[in-house]
């Protein structure tokens, strides 16, 4: 059995004057959301054999805040291919994970993460899948399980969607901003 956890970076600041999208930092709400998700990861006793993350500034800062809440060090492999990656690119990266890795955490961006969840889960009514179809918010965590021995055996629709945690589920003030 393999478990794949997909984490979208936390909310970034659009009002920061950075010259490249890659360098956009988190805003205050994003920092809070990431810390709360980290605490939830600790509460749920989530553990990972391998972590892969986009090296974008907002992902690096998300990981810092996750670790603050989680209380454990996560030493990711920084992989530039994850920056704004498509579902297909992320799937290729996951299929290349070492066979001995049973619990992987991938931290990246949308729409690739959302598209990957929808690709890997059966297209049936399911509360978590329905929520992702609606929106995969920043700092949200999706957990998928597979009855496979090798990551290379991942196929469309083969995942069991076991968990979807959004920051607003833990703190309503982290929900969508009012217009």
pLDDT score recorded for residue 35: 98
pLDDT tens digits for 118-134?
999 999 999 999 999 99
Residue 154 has pLDDT above 90, yes or no: yes
pLDDT score recorded for residue 62: 98
Percent of the chain exceeding pLDDT 90 equals: 91
Nearest to 52 by CA among 14, 92, 105: 105
Residue 99 has pLDDT above 90, yes or no: no
- Rounded Cα–Cα distance for residues 59 and 78 (Å): 10
pLDDT score recorded for residue 179: 33
- If one counts the domains in the chain, the total is 1
Answer yes or no: is 175 within a domain. Answer: no
Answer yes or no: is 16 within a domain. Answer: no
Answer yes or no: is 122 within a domain. Answer: yes
Between 41 and 99, the more confident residue is 41
Answer yes or no: is 178 within a domain. Answer: no
pLDDT score recorded for residue 16: 63
CB 154 within 8 A of CB 136: no
Answer yes or no: is 158 within a domain. Answer: yes
- Rounded Cα–Cα distance for residues 49 and 30 (Å): 26
pLDDT score recorded for residue 178: 46
What are the φ/ψ torsions at residue 48 (nearest 5 degrees)? -135, 140
CATH code at 135? 3.40.50.1240
Instruction: Quote the domain boundaries for residue 30.
Output: 2-9+21-170
Question: Within a 10 A sphere around the Cβ of 167, how many other Cβ atoms?
Answer: 26
Answer yes or no: is 177 within a domain. Answer: no
Angstrom distances, CA of residue 82 to CA of 20, 52, 148? 16, 8, 23
Answer yes or no: is 53 within a domain. Answer: yes
Answer yes or no: is 176 within a domain. Answer: no
pLDDT tens digits for 9-65?
999 987 767 778 899 999 999 999 999 999 999 999 999 999 999 999 999 999 999
């Amino acid at each position: 059995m393999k478990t794949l956890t997909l984490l979208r970076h936390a909310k970034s600041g659009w009002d920061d004057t950075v010259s490249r999208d890659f360098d956009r930092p988190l805003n205050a709400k994003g920092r809070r959301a990431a810390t709360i998700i980290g605490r939830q990861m600790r509460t749920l006793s989530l553990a990972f054999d391998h972590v892969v993350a986009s090296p974008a500034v907002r992902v690096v800062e998300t990981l810092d805040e996750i670790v603050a809440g989680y209380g454990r060090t996560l030493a990711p492999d920084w992989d530039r291919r994850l920056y704004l990656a498509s579902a297909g690119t992320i799937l290729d990266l996951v299929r290349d994970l070492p066979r001995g890795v049973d619990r992987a955490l991938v931290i990246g961006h949308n729409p690739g993460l959302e598209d990957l969840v929808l690709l890997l889960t059966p297209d049936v009514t399911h509360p978590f899948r329905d929520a992702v179809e609606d929106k995969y918010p920043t700092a949200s965590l999706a957990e998928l399980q597979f009855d496979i021995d090798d990551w290379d055996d991942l196929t469309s629709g083969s995942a069991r969607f076991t968990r979807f945690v959004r920051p607003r589920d833990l703190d309503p003030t982290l929900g969508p901003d009012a217009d």
